[in-house]
Structures are given as C-alpha cells and as structure tokens.
A and B are shown apart, each in its own frame.
Chain A
Amino acid sequence: MAAAMSETSGHLVEVKHLSVEFHTRNGVVPAVRDVSWHIDRGETLAILGESGSGKSVSSSALMGLIDIPPGRITSGEVLYCGEDLLKATPERQREINGSRIAMVFQDTLAALNPVYPIGWQVAETFRTHGVARAEANAKALELLERVGLPNAAARFRDYPHQFSGGQRQRIMIAMAIALNPDLLIADEPTTALDVTVQARILGLLKELQRERGMGLLMITHDLGIVAGMADRVVIMNAGRIVEAGTVKQVFESPQHPYTRSLLDAIPGRHGFPDIAERAAPAEPLLRVEELTKEYVTPAGLFRPARPPVRALGGVSFTLAQGETLGIVGESGSGKSTLVRTLIGLEEATSGDAFFRGRSLIDPTAETRDLAQRQIQMVFQDPTASLNPRMSVFEIVSEPWAIHRDALPRAQWEQRVGDLLEEVGLKREHAGRHPHQFSGGQRQRIAIARALALKPDIIICDEAVSSLDVSVQAQVIALLKALKDEFGLSYLFIAHDLPVVRSFADRVLVMHKGMIVEQGPTREIFENPQHDYTRELLNADPLLSHHAA
C-alpha cells in the first residue's frame, strides 16, 4: 500500500491507460482504448462525447459496475487515492461505493427502485454503510430537505413515480451525497429534464460541490453543460480521448478535427441567420383559432367526476406557406396536445383550425383525406416510430398503399429510391430494416416517409431531440434544404432553444397550455417580453453562456 501511494502524483482519482473491450455475438468490440484522466478534490471535470464514444466506461470501471463478462478490462489502472480499484476485492469496492465515490444516473425513473419509498432508498445508503435504521431515516430526511425536495417530511414514504423528473433527480443527488463522498460522478444528470429544471439541478450540484469540496465528474454529450459547469474537459470519440484541456482552451482553440466539428455543430456558433420578415399572404396555409382541449374524467361507480384538466387553453396562430414556426415549451406545456388535436388524434373541446380555409376540427371526408396527405409528421424517437418488421421500402411506400391514387404501383420502387437519395441515404438501403441504421439515418427514413405524399406541412415533434449534436446539425441542414426545394412549411416543436433559434422563422412560446408570447425568432430571443420566456432563455446553458 505504501509503495503504491508513493508512485502516484497524489490525485484524488487517476485513470491510467485504461482499455476495456466487450465480447458480443458480433465479436470483440473495444469500448475504450488507452484512456487516461485525473480529477482532484473541489474540481469539476467533464467527459464529453456522443453516444457510443465510451464516455461512461471509465467511471463505471471506477465503481466496479462493468459486467465481466461480457466486459473485459485488458489493461490500465484506476487509482483512488493511490489504490488500484481494478485489483480491489468486491468487499473493498462495496465499502468505497456510495461512501467515497458516489454516482448520479440519467434516467431517474428507471434508476430509482419503483417499489420502495424514496425515504427508504435514501436511508439505504446510510444503512449499507453501517448507520442504524432510525438514525439513517433522520439523516435521510435532513438530506432531502437540503437538496430542496418540497415537503420532504410528508413525502418521505412516497414512491419514485409520484415525483417529477427534477424532484427525482434531487432524490438521486441526496442519495449520492449522503456520506460526503470525495468524488461525485454525474452521468448525464439532466438529459431528460426541461431546460429550467436542468438549470436548477446544475446549480444545486455546483452548490453542493462548493459546500463539501468534492470532486465532480460530469459525463455529458451537452456542450452547453460543459461550458457552464466544468473546469477541465476530456473529449472522447470512438473510445479514445481526442482532446483534453481547460474548457477555455478547448472551446477557443480546438486542436483536433473532431472537436472542431463538434463545436461547429453548435447552433448559432457562427451567429444566427438573419431571417427576412415577409408579408403574410392573405390566406395562411394553417390558421388556428382559440383551440381548446380539456380532458374530462367522468364519474365512476363510487367516485364523482373530476374537474376537467385544461391541456390547451385558447391557442391561436397562423402558419404561412414556406414558413418554419418553432413551438417552444417545457413538458406539460401543451405542445403535443396541440399537434395531436391538429392531426385529429384528439378531439378539440372548442375553437377551430383551418387548413387552406377548411376546418380540421370538424372535417368533411374530403378535408380529412386532404389533410392526411398534406400534413405529415416526423416523431421524436425514430426507433419507436418505425415498424421494426417492415423494410425501408415498405415504410416509405406505405403512404401510397393507403392513398391508392397517389402513385401507380409500378413507380414505387423508383420513387422510394429517389426519396432515399433526397434525404441522403442510398437507393440500395430500401431492402434493409430499421435496426440496421443509426439514429440519424433512421430519422432520415422517417423524413423520407413524410415526404412521400409531397405534403405542404411537416410537423416535427421533437424530431432532433434524441440525436447527437453533430447528427442533429445534419438533420436540421437536411430539413432546411428540403424546405427550399419543395416549399415546405414546418411546425417545429422543440425544447432545445439554440436549435429553434437557428432554424425557425417565427417562434411561439407555450406555457401551461397557453401561448405566452409569439413573434419573429430574432425578436423573441433578443428582446423577450414575457417573464417565462426570459426564464427559459436564461436557463439554457449555451445561450446564457453566449450572452455572458
């Protein structure tokens, strides 16, 4: 032990030349190769990478969370205060986990055990490391109050599903900081959260770090978080570290081409495009008037009717030919209800919407047929929205199978090939199935399907949210090109403000089912009028970083 100590340079945690591979059915896949980094007390290090870059692997190795097999650590050391944890016994690793090194995970609904009360789960960290039950419960409650869980005492026995995403992340954080660890690892802690909630959680992490002097390791794909939180950054691509340095160095003079491409993909990196305002035509393509949707729970056998829930409260706007309208808002703001009502998946309670002057809310058979051809959707998760058992040809040609008169059968093959080329795929991809493509390629397939009937309007419901930042930039570029080529109009729903800023002509901001503000993109972003809009803009790490 003494010998080991003397070899080290005294970092809190140091990863040296770590290589890990995974043995899968398709052969050996290297997860990380020759990865080295270190972190000290009180410091924030960010490991930045896209999905599949191996950014989480070294911290998993640190906590002994790599499953062996299929994983295999082929070389390297993982030192905690000089002690190589790769050689530690399982008992020693359990002693360190949760007490000296702790971790906060991404998907809190899955990462908290659904069948135990949250108080029990926070107290478990104490109990596991030898604190008696009653004391553990008292300390857990204290912690939950510290991390700002509202009404903590009364909600001690509630279950994870009864909390919001932000509250669950606070519970996870309480669980992790319980024993004052030296190092807190946060693995994509805010990915699933709304931007204002994200800002509060990141603030809490910073605050706790200052209070307790722990090292903070942020694993993320979000450049904004790196810019706003970290002292130093390690950038990973395909299992290797491509660049490391202080955040300032890396952001201002990136050395590696991958880092440069990543930074270039940030929307608004080279300023936002100036969007010329144009005179609205007499009859807009889409006109929405006072659209309202209430959800009613009727009386049950033993239960009175509940008061109706207003998901959409009198929404009015227009969409002109060739225009991109960004719809911004957090979860629960009514964005998806608006879309579902427009395309007829939900029945409106009152109000109306007109496509080329015909009502979509009470459509004639003819209008419904027209709307189904001319208004198309691209959904958030291409893995879920493409039928895994259908080939790309079947997926893209399905609209013609439904609308029989759209295209004669003989031309389908030719046209599917054309569409695939149009969205940047290859003709021969038609015979493959969705699982053979990457996330970005799948979203291209979804776009090809949406284009099949030559629509006027494409509704993109968080269509780029699940994509890595460089892929996101490519898909946005594709949407822009298609818009110019076919004169498309977009309803572009997103919670990512920089993306909206770089893409939309006009923006409307939704909050609690109402439109709180709408106007040209530039005006909304540079001179927001409503408090909520301002809060939203300030919460975005990238936008507020640019402003600073």
Chain B
Amino acid sequence: MNGYVTKRMLHSLISMMGLIILVFFLSRLTGNPSDLYLPIDTPADVRAAFSQAHGFDDPMIVQFGHFLANLVHLDFGSSMRLERPALNLVLEAFPVSLTLAVLAMALALVIAIVAGSLAARSPNGVLDRFINVISLCGASVPNFWLALVSVLVFAVWMRWLPTSGMGGPEYWVLPVIVLAVRPCGLLAQVVRGSMISALSSAYVKTARAKGVSQRVIVFVHALRNAMLPIITVAGDQASGMINGAVVVEVIFGLPGIGRLMMESIQYRDFAVIQAGVILTACAIFLLNIAIDLAYALLDPRIKHA
C-alpha cells in the first residue's frame, strides 16, 4: 500500500509539471498586462518601462525559468493587482471554498444514500417514483437560478437568513444547500441504480437463505458493494467544488478560490492564477489518492501492487 501511494505521488508530480507548463504559457496568451494596468493614453516608453520592471520583456523561456526557480521555495510572486504575495491570497481564499465543499458534499451524500437506498428497496414503487422525480429535478436545476431564488425567498421576503457575506453559521446555510442540490440529485440516482443491482445479486440471495434480516442485508451486504460507483461520482463532483463554486461564491459574496481566480484572470494577475491553479491541483490530486484508497478499503478485489 505504501508503495502504491509513493507511485501515485510520482505520477501526480509528473502531471503537475505538465500543468505548471500549461498554466504558465496559457495565461500569457490572454494578453499583455501593460495594456490592462496602464491608462489607454500611456506613452509607449512608459509601457516599455512597466514591462521591463515586471520582467515581461524577457523571452518566455527566461520568464519560465525564473518562475520555476521561485516555485522551488514556494515563492509564487506577488499579485500586481493587490500588491500582496500571491500565495497568501490563495491560502486565505482556500479554506472558504474547502469548507463550502466539505459541508455541501457531506449533506449531499447523506441525503442521497438514504433516499437512494429507500428508493431501491421497492423499485417502481410509489416512494421510488417520488424520489426519482425529486432527484431528477435536483440534478437538473441551474445553480445560479436556485441561488437567486433562494436569496429572494429566504433572505429578502422571509428574512430568515442573511443575503450574502461572511459571518456566523447562518451565512453558510444557503450557499451550502444551493451547492449541495445538484450533486445530491445526481448521487441519489447513482445510489438507487447501484443499490438495485446489489440487492438483486446472488450474495443477497445467499444472505436471505441464511436468515439474515432485511436491515443487515441492505446496510451491510448491499451498501458496501454499492459504494464504489457512488464514490466515483461523488469524487468527481467534489473536485468540481474544490475548484471553486464560482457562481455560488459570487452570488453569496463568499471570498473563495473561485471568485479570486475569476477576478485574477480578468486582471491578468499571473502570479495569483498560477498559485491558485497549482494549489487546487494539489488538492485534487490528494482527493483522487484518497478515493483510490477508499476503493481498496471497500473492495478487497482491488489490489494495488
């Protein structure tokens, strides 16, 4: 198992190198920062001085070399827009996105597993059809619409919850629920399908022939077998969330990574973009390793030699 983790780390490192190269050059394709930061009527010689001061005049490969050298001691450079170290900006925004993602994912998983399992107990029954319709609605409703409507209803009309911003726990309620709805609907569908096939399997028949109770059959025999597809889909959804739930963060005014990245791209704030992408990528690599380990724990047939 240790060998497996080391191997995955090495693979991740290779992908990370590719990513660093891609981010560095792609973000420089979006335009020259001097066009953006300086007034339109700036004389050409001032522009040249600006570019030279920030090293934009050097050949790309030299810029890349500097960037790599700094990267080794975790120096991502400074934000031109906010004139603070890029890494600090990203590290401040990251916990917000992470909290949002963890809470939303946990909520989605719990509801989806309970609802999906209930639905699978009697396929095509009344409860199954009801859960099916609700979860399909959940999986198809657009984020931005749901966010705006929920602000309107619960914050503006009812005045139960704050409209946006950061503060006590009540500020998290709407963003977490809005963010959880789509993955929850999708996951409930996956849980349902996966549980139906697990419950119709031969080992469930064996358990019934042994006299095992229905509760143990559903939650011990079937659920563990049904977890693999659930984890796959949940992991995919979770990495989307870590990337920053841009829509939710912007509408609810949460200073998360998604909002930071969007603004930095608008201002060609290369240092922040690079720091943000690399940190998010690290988090996603870690998440994927965790998912692989969860596979191996749940299903002994998966062996990582």
Identify the A interface with B (CB < 8 A). Answer: 63-65, 90, 93-99, 102-103, 105, 107, 110-116, 124-125, 128-129, 159, 161, 172, 175, 300-303
Residue among A159, A172, A302 making CB contact with B300, cutoff 8 Å: A159
Chain B interface secondary structure, helix, strand, loop or mixed? Answer: helix
Q: How far is the CA of A97 from the CA of B208 in the complex (A)?
A: 7
Residue among B3, B211, B216, B225 making CB contact with A302, cutoff 8 Å: B3
Q: Is the CB of B3 within 8 A of A114?
A: no
Distance from A68 Cβ to chain B, minimum over Cβ atoms (Å): 11
Q: A107-B202, A114-B225, A115-B224 are in contact. Are A98 and B7 (CB under 8 A)?
A: no
Q: Is the CB of A301 within 8 A of B203?
A: no
Q: Is the CB of A97 within 8 A of B301?
A: no
Q: How many residues of B contact A (CB 8 A)?
A: 26
Q: How far is the CA of A161 from the CA of B207 in the complex (A)?
A: 18
Q: Is the CB of A302 within 8 A of B6?
A: yes
Q: B210 — nearest CB in chain A belongs to which residue? A: A98
Q: Is the CB of B211 within 8 A of A128?
A: yes
Q: A125-B210, A128-B210 are in contact. Are A161 and B202 (CB under 8 A)?
A: no
User: Does B99 sit at the interface, judged by CB under 8 A?
Assistant: no
Distance from A156 Cβ to chain B, minimum over Cβ atoms (Å): 14
Q: A105-B205, A112-B203, A114-B301 are in contact. Are A124 and B225 (CB under 8 A)?
A: no
Q: Is the CB of B221 within 8 A of A113?
A: yes
Q: A113-B221, A114-B225, A115-B300 are in contact. Are A63 and B203 (CB under 8 A)?
A: no
Residue among B7, B203, B209 making CB contact with A97, cutoff 8 Å: B209
Distance from B213 Cβ to chain A, minimum over Cβ atoms (Å): 7
Q: Is the CB of B206 within 8 A of A161?
A: no
Q: A115-B224, A300-B305 are in contact. Are A110 and B210 (CB under 8 A)?
A: no
Distance from A124 Cβ to chain B, minimum over Cβ atoms (Å): 6
Residue among A64, A97, A115, A116 making CB contact with B210, cutoff 8 Å: A97
Q: Which of B1-54 contact A (CB under 8 A)?
A: 3, 6-7, 10
Q: Given A94-B212, A111-B205, list of 15 further CB < 8 A pairs?
A: A63-B209, A93-B211, A94-B211, A94-B213, A105-B202, A110-B203, A111-B202, A113-B203, A114-B299, A115-B299, A115-B300, A128-B213, A161-B301, A175-B210, A302-B3
- Inter-chain contacts of A112 with B (CB < 8 A): 203, 206
Q: Is the CB of A102 within 8 A of B300?
A: no
Q: Is the CB of A159 within 8 A of B301?
A: yes
- Inter-chain contacts of B207 with A (CB < 8 A): 113, 124
Q: A97 — nearest CB in chain B belongs to which residue? A: B211
- Inter-chain contacts of B6 with A (CB < 8 A): 302
Q: How far is the CA of A94 from the CA of B202 in the complex (A)?
A: 17
Going nearest first, the 9 A-B pairs with the smallest beta carbon separation are A97-B211, A98-B211, A110-B202, A98-B210, A113-B203, A159-B300, A94-B211, A103-B209, A111-B202
Pairs A–B under 8 Å by Cβ, sample size 15? A95-B211, A98-B209, A99-B211, A103-B209, A105-B206, A111-B202, A111-B206, A113-B207, A115-B298, A124-B210, A128-B213, A129-B211, A159-B301, A161-B300, A300-B305
Q: How far is the CA of A90 from the CA of B211 in the complex (A)?
A: 10
Q: Is the CB of A114 within 8 A of B203?
A: yes
Distance from B207 Cβ to chain A, minimum over Cβ atoms (Å): 7
- Inter-chain contacts of A103 with B (CB < 8 A): 206, 209
Q: B10 — nearest CB in chain A belongs to which residue? A: A301
Q: How far is the CA of A114 from the CA of B203 in the complex (A)?
A: 8
Distance from B196 Cβ to chain A, minimum over Cβ atoms (Å): 12
- Fill in one digit per residue for B212-223: 1 if any A CB lies within 8 Å of its CB, else 0: 111010000100
User: Does B63 sit at the interface, judged by CB under 8 A?
Assistant: no
Q: A302-B6, A303-B305 are in contact. Are A113 and B225 (CB under 8 A)?
A: yes
User: Does B201 sit at the interface, judged by CB under 8 A?
Assistant: yes
Distance from A92 Cβ to chain B, minimum over Cβ atoms (Å): 10
Distance from A463 Cβ to chain B, minimum over Cβ atoms (Å): 26
Q: How far is the CA of A422 from the CA of B225 in the complex (A)?
A: 47
Identify the B interface with A (CB < 8 A). Answer: 3, 6-7, 10, 201-203, 205-214, 216, 221, 224-225, 298-301, 305
Q: How far is the CA of A293 from the CA of B300 in the complex (A)?
A: 30
Distance from B13 Cβ to chain A, minimum over Cβ atoms (Å): 13
Q: How far is the CA of A161 from the CA of B213 in the complex (A)?
A: 25
Q: How far is the CA of A107 from the CA of B203 in the complex (A)?
A: 10
Q: How far is the CA of A112 from the CA of B300 in the complex (A)?
A: 13
- Inter-chain contacts of A99 with B (CB < 8 A): 211
- Inter-chain contacts of B7 with A (CB < 8 A): 301-302
Q: Is the CB of B203 within 8 A of A111?
A: yes
Distance from B203 Cβ to chain A, minimum over Cβ atoms (Å): 4
Distance from A244 Cβ to chain B, minimum over Cβ atoms (Å): 25
Distance from B97 Cβ to chain A, minimum over Cβ atoms (Å): 34
Q: Is the CB of A114 within 8 A of B300?
A: yes
Distance from A439 Cβ to chain B, minimum over Cβ atoms (Å): 20
Distance from A24 Cβ to chain B, minimum over Cβ atoms (Å): 14
Q: B200 — nearest CB in chain A belongs to which residue? A: A67
Distance from B36 Cβ to chain A, minimum over Cβ atoms (Å): 46
Q: B301 — nearest CB in chain A belongs to which residue? A: A161
Distance from A95 Cβ to chain B, minimum over Cβ atoms (Å): 7
Q: How far is the CA of A63 from the CA of B210 in the complex (A)?
A: 10
- Inter-chain contacts of A116 with B (CB < 8 A): 221, 224
Distance from B21 Cβ to chain A, minimum over Cβ atoms (Å): 23
Q: How far is the CA of A224 from the CA of B105 in the complex (A)?
A: 57
- Inter-chain contacts of A303 with B (CB < 8 A): 3, 305
A64, A302, A303, most chain B CB atoms within 10 A: A302
- Inter-chain contacts of B210 with A (CB < 8 A): 97-98, 102, 124-125, 128, 175
- Inter-chain contacts of A125 with B (CB < 8 A): 210-211
Q: How far is the CA of A333 from the CA of B212 in the complex (A)?
A: 39
Q: A99 — nearest CB in chain B belongs to which residue? A: B211
Distance from A160 Cβ to chain B, minimum over Cβ atoms (Å): 9
- Inter-chain contacts of A175 with B (CB < 8 A): 206, 210
Q: How far is the CA of A47 from the CA of B208 in the complex (A)?
A: 22
Q: B299 — nearest CB in chain A belongs to which residue? A: A115
Q: A129 — nearest CB in chain B belongs to which residue? A: B211
Q: How far is the CA of A300 from the CA of B208 in the complex (A)?
A: 44
Q: B6 — nearest CB in chain A belongs to which residue? A: A302
Distance from B255 Cβ to chain A, minimum over Cβ atoms (Å): 42
Q: A113-B221, A115-B299 are in contact. Are A96 and B203 (CB under 8 A)?
A: no
